Amino acid sequence: MSRQGWSVTQITLALYPFGAGAAAVNVFFASLIFSWIGGPVASTVWSIGLGCVIGAPATWLFARHIRHLMDLADRGPMQS
């Protein structure tokens, strides 16, 4: 049986802007929490930069999960 639909790479590229954006927001909020104990607050540039770096593997892992769910759905009921 051949795979139908998008590959993991295609899903990753389509979802990367959302993954990087979510990671950037999380980096910024984590720096705010870290500032409670005296740490610096991340600037916008640092938050976006780290979000782009952290977002790549996170989005790839999420795309693998989505591809796995697509494969399960293609098999049909009771064939897992």
Write the DSSP assignment of 10-59 as a string of letters. HHHHHHHHHHHHHHHHHHHHHHHHHGGGTPPPPPHHHHHHHHHHHHHHHH
pLDDT of residue 63 exceeding 60: yes
Task: Read off the amino acid at residue 32.
Answer: L
Average pLDDT in the 2-28 region?
Answer: 94
pLDDT given for residue 2 in this prediction:
62
How confident is the model over 34-56, as pLDDT tens digits? Answer: 999 999 999 999 999 999 999 99
Residue 77, CB-side half-sphere exposure with 13 Å CA sphere: 0
For all residues of the chain together, what is the average pLDDT? 93
pLDDT given for residue 3 in this prediction:
74
The Cβ of residue 49 has, within 10 Å, a number of other Cβ atoms equal to 15
